[in-house]
Amino acid sequence: MEHYLTHGRRLSRTIRQMGYPSREVLAAWIDELAPGERAVKRGPVADEVRRMAVARLVAGGVTSRQVAAEVGVEASVVRNWKRQLLHEPVPEDDPVTPDKPGKRNDGAADPDASDLDGLIAERDRVRAELERIRREKREAEIELAILKGALDLVGIRAGHRPGQPDQ
């Protein structure tokens, strides 16, 4: 019992450490000696609840931890739902950290699924704009490289003033 309560409350870990009993027997012991201490697995969460949780998170003003507490799941689960529903890639260089409250809070108490669709459309519009800006930046970099090459061909160096002798 003590091992279960002090080492992460995992039945399988405790069974492996002790070498006995079965999962059912250990669960019964825990329920008898420490009622309410055993973590009970919940079933799958309904899609509508997931959408509402993600919409609330995306609307801002709350953290993934707060939304998770309302739904009864871990904060990482809410962040995974957000990635799945908004089709966001998993960040490779960013370790999992608690979400910060969003900057946008338009006063909406509980956004619904239509708000989520609107947010997805807005995200897609912003991504398209970002891609357009990146394309323009690449074109400007190419143009700059061409102009620098032309200056080298003409023989003008950086810092050179026309009409002044070379030093």
Token pair 């059912």 in the structure block, residue: 24
CA–CA separation, 82 and 120 (whole Å):
11
pTM value?
Answer: 0.37
Residue 137 backbone phi and psi in degrees, to 5:
-65, -45
Q: How high is the pLDDT of residue 98?
A: 44
pLDDT digits (tens, 9 = 90+) for 122-142: 889 999 999 999 999 999 999
For residue 29, the surrounding DSSP H or E stretch is: helix 23-33
Q: How many CB atoms lie within 10 A of CB 100?
A: 9
DSSP string for 96-145: --PPPPPS---S-SS--HHHHHHHHHHHHHHHHHHHHHHHHHHHHHHHHH
Instruction: Please give the single-letter amino acid code of residue 131.
Output: E
Q: How high is the pLDDT of residue 48?
A: 87
Alpha carbon separation from 13 to 3, 20, 59, 113 (Å, rounded):
9, 11, 39, 40
pLDDT digits (tens, 9 = 90+) for 40-99: 666 788 888 888 888 888 888 889 899 888 888 888 989 998 888 887 665 555 454 444
